[in-house]
């Protein structure tokens, strides 16, 4: 019989643990009884470099690695830095998984991205459709670099019997998100835009695209719980979506954010800018069936929490 997973006994290394998702994941792991959590910082361990990875393994001596670290951004950042996003994410992931296997780390949890899905995946996105086409062009280099972790995970399980898993979280949002306009994703970018426009007395804001694409978002504490449950209960190399099952158009999203921030000006759509993937919504049944995960947070409630957090912390 398989032994129960004991968080208190495990030494866990969380790459990217100081980031947005990482801080929420570490809170979740501590609530589950985890006592030995190692969080590498980029200043000490540049995980793009092989030597830094070997040093990290020596210093943390982990039983489990949860690989959250990624070089990421929104559509604009992906368009400006496709080569960096490809190289940095590929080198981090491929070397870290390989060295973890060599070192004897019991389990490797790879965090992929919804950007790995083909541009025209049937909605809701099923994990079985990951290979039916090429990803949306604006973030394909990033998406494909992360997707190689799935290929590697399956190959290492086939050849070496290595226990690694691959999770595909949809876009995250929540308190503590990145609100830097140069690198933020759509929700924090729009919250900041609306708040600043209201303060400046602007009569409109400009939004990229035409508002027609749809997106699914998962509240960060739900995503953290999904990753923790998979780490604890799931031991197969098939990919698994981590999502909320809630789809919203960008137009409806902007209108919600304008209302919550009190911005009453016009929304001007810049259709010279890319829409990105036409629709994005996940089939979340595999996560429920395999390790009992479902998202709990109502979208309006989560969005209001995020707006409130930004208003309190922005100074």
**100-145 per-position pLDDT tens digit:** 999 999 999 999 999 999 999 999 999 999 999 999 888 899 999 9
Residue among 164, 166, 142, 139 at smallest CA distance from 86: 142
Residue 31 clears pLDDT 80, i.e. is over it: yes
Q: Could you tell me the residue ranges of all domains in the chain?
A: 7-176+215-247+278-297
Catalytic residues: 142
Report the first-to-last Cα separation within the chain, whole angstroms. 54
- pLDDT computed for residue 91 by the predictor: 98
- pLDDT computed for residue 76 by the predictor: 73
Over residues 296-300, mean pLDDT: 98
Tokens of 107: 């389990």
**192-220 per-position pLDDT tens digit:** 999 999 999 999 999 999 999 999 999 99
DSSP string for the chain = -PPPP-GGG-EEEEETTTSHHHHHHHHHHHHTT--EEE---TTT--TTSHHHHHHHHHHH--SEEEE-------HHHHHH-HHHHHHHHHHHHHHHHHHHHHHT-SEEEEE--GGGSBTTPPSSBPGGGTTSSPBPGGGHHHHHHHHHHHHHHHHHHHHH---EEEEEE-EEESTT----TTT--HHHHHHHHHHHHHHHT-SEEEEES-S--EEEEEEHHHHHHHHHHHHHH----S-EEE--S-EEEHHHHHHHHHHHHT--SEEEEETTS---SS---B--HHHHHHH-------HHHHHHHHHHHHHHH--
Superfamily of 7-176+215-247+278-297 according to CATH? NAD(P)-binding Rossmann-like Domain (3.40.50.720)
Q: CA–CA separation, 212 vs 274, rounded Å?
A: 11
- pLDDT computed for residue 88 by the predictor: 96
Residue among 240, 239, 243, 195 at smallest CA distance from 219: 243
**151-202 per-position pLDDT tens digit:** 999 999 999 999 999 999 999 999 999 999 887 889 999 999 999 999 999 9
CB 126 within 8 A of CB 238: no
**273-297 per-position pLDDT tens digit:** 888 878 899 999 999 999 999 999 9
- pLDDT computed for residue 2 by the predictor: 54
- pLDDT computed for residue 65 by the predictor: 98
Average pLDDT, the chain: 95
Which residues make beta-bridge pairs with 118?
Answer: 135
Q: CA–CA separation, 305 vs 315, rounded Å?
A: 17
- pLDDT computed for residue 3 by the predictor: 64
What does pTM read for this prediction?
Answer: 0.94
**81-103 per-position pLDDT tens digit:** 899 999 999 999 999 999 999 99
Instruction: Count Cβ atoms within 10 A of the Cβ of residue 65 and give its class: 0-12 exposed, 13-18 middle, 19 or more buried.
Output: buried
Residue 1 clears pLDDT 80, i.e. is over it: no
């Amino acid at each position: 019989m398989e032994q129960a997973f004991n968080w208190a006994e495990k030494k866990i290394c969380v790459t990217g643990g100081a980031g947005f998702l990482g801080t929420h994941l570490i809170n979740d792991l501590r609530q589950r009884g985890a006592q030995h959590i190692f969080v590498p910082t980029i200043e000490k361990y540049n995980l793009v470099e092989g030597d830094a990875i070997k040093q990290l393994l020596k210093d943390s001596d982990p039983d489990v690695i949860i690989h959250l670290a990624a070089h990421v951004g929104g559509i604009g950042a992906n368009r400006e830095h496709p080569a960096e996003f490809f190289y940095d994410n590929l080198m981090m992931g491929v070397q870290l998984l390989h060295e973890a296997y060599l070192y004897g780390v019991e389990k490797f949890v790879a965090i992929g991205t919804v950007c790995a899905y083909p541009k025209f995946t049937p909605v809701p996105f099923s994990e079985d459709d990951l290979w039916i086409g090429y990803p949306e062009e604006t973030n394909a280099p990033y998406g494909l670099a992360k997707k190689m972790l799935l290929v590697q995970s399956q190959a290492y399980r086939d050849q070496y019997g290595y226990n690694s898993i691959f999770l595909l979280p949809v876009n995250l949002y929540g308190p503590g998100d990145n609100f830097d306009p140069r690198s933020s994703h759509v929700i924090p970018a729009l919250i900041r835009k609306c708040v600043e426009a209201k303060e400046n007395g602007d009569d409109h804001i400009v939004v990229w695209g035409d508002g027609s694409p749809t997106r699914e978002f998962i509240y960060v504490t739900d995503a953290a719980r999904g990753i923790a449950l998979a780490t604890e209960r799931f031991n197969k190399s098939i990919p698994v979506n981590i999502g909320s099952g809630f789809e919203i158009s960008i137009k409806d999203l902007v209108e919600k954010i304008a209302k919550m921030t009190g911005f009453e000006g016009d929304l001007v759509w810049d259709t010279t800018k890319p829409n990105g993937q036409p629709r994005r919504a996940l089939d979340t049944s595999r996560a429920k069936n395999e390790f009992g995960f479902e998202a709990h947070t109502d979208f309006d409630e989560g969005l209001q929490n995020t707006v409130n957090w930004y208003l309190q912390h922005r100074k």
